[in-house]
Structure 1
Amino acid sequence: MNVQTSASPVATPLDGGGLTDASTLVRGISPVLAVPFTDAGDVDFEGFGRVVDHVLGTGVTSVMFPGFASEYYKLTEDERRELTGILLRRTAHREDLAAIVAVQDHTTRMAVTRAREVVAAGADLINLLAPHFLSPSRRSQIEHVTAVLAAVAPTPVVLQYAPNETGSSLDAATIADLVRAHPNLRLVKVESNPPGRLIGELAALDPPVTSLEGYAGVQLPDAWRRGAVGSQPGCSFTEIYVEIWRRLTSGDEAGGEDLHRRLLPYISYWMLDTELIIAAEKQISFRRGLIDSAHCRRPAHVLDAEELRRIEVFLQEFADLLPDLSRRD
């Protein structure tokens, strides 16, 4: 899919001439795609294609790549470019799917260049992470975000707010100013801990700012009640998140709460450390047969015997929602 935000009805060279607002597809569960490696540590490009195909087949309407769950900070530029191409070739002709491509570059010049390149390549939305290396000032963060928003307009942008991982902070009032100045800032991925208050503050703004919850869905029911339109977890057990969201939004709030309550002991432990949940999700994908190796590029968390045992317990508990994927054509 290659589309244009409804903020402007006129096609631009960046948007391919479409008239659909891709940001409206970023609803429900929007998984962040993992990158499988071989046991030797090389990128498994064919395996990544299988990951994409599987996740797109779970009923989601958008996916994001690359994020922390993708180990983006361990990829070379050539690897990242090729992986992005694998994703975009699968979404280019799908009007029911939106591909969100992330821009995490620290320098504004590089971020603007990357954002323009991925939009030209077919990205439907940009996921923008503000700079955080060596604690840049709030003014520097705002200038960076503003430059990227202007560079890709009218392509819609998701602003990722992850203070625990980055140490950066942009409050609701600042985000509101950015939205008023740049209508293509369409969503905010809120990963503060807890996220609910900021989600509620953004929803109460004029104009309201639409939010996604991140952080592995640890606070998913609360975020939904406060106005979040979706969640962006990892992709190794997308089916569970999809079912939680289906229940919450179809009138079965108690059922959604119950399923989330069963999931919470696992994800709350894994999210104690970013590398821990990456390793756990890789192991889950490997055990399900989705990928051929659970390898994480170093530095990485090495799962101990008890952590591996708990993953087996997890897979047994949710076996009804997580089919064996090892039998591939």
Structure 2
Amino acid sequence: MYHSWLDRWDERRARRGEEGKERTALVLDSARAFPGAKKITNLEEFGVLANQAVADPSFFDEPGRNDQGFQRQDGWLKFPSDMFTDVEENNVVWAKITESGSFDQVMVIFHHWNASGRNRQIANFFSKRDITVVEIAMPYHFERSRPGAAHADYMLSPNLGRTIQSVRQAVWDGRKLIRWLKSQGYREISVLGMSLGSWVAGLIAAHDANVSKASLFLTAGSLADMVWTGRATRSIRESLEPEMKLTDLRRAWAPLNLENYVQNLARPDLALHVVLAKRDKVVLPDLSQRFMQSLKDAGAQPNVLELNCGHYSLAMPPYILLAGLSLKGFLSSADQSARRG
């Protein structure tokens, strides 16, 4: 009875999330995804460029490594993004810092798609436990929102190239922030990603050796599969389906598929923590399980917590409390090598 009510609650929450989302046309926009590449006109050519990006170990590396322009004041940090876009507000990155008074550990949080605000409760909880929390705004969210936009449609959309650009920008911004935090003296750096933010946090953890712990909430490997099957992205599938198949989208968004980087995520000095929802209709459980198996096949030993709730109801008690306590234990645990021993 309770879980039937919970499922209905998740469905109502999903319907509210659909407000303002409209079907739009498929757009390749390869120049945004792969700057400097030759102009392409079809999905097959786009897929070739996508595969080249997966094979390029520098695709998610920041250009220039410019540390200029960081401004910190009254608990806020802002700095210029190294990805220039046609939305001026999006070119400046904002982050909220909740200090712990200790430089032993800092956790960078990447929020979910269309988040309406940062999570002060999480920040306060961990800052009181000697973990500084930095909540970064992903592209086209919060202070970086596109004027007039009803939701963060430029972050995830039927525009294949802009979606790759946006996720790549989020990774660049996160890595630039992490490098700055390292320069400030923080010893251990962790990342926490939620839903779409888990793809960003996962990509950063896979490509940045400065990250020692990564916690992924409501995650899977293939972003294409999540968009095609998920409850929150029906408008995107409806926009794409007349023009392409799921196999086409998998090829196009291959650089955003965490399963393509499981060897990086399985490195010995990275600890992984995952929280999944058994009743999730946004990130389907079979997609999550496939990703978990890929990680284990690569030699990773993720600490996995599965809760009998939905995607949105994870935010409700007792589930959010259980997830928070599991994350607390993970962040407080010994290093990865000690656990493997």
Question: Normalising by the residue count of structure 1, what TM-score does the alignment of the two structures yield?
Answer: 0.30
Structure with greater proportional strand content? 2
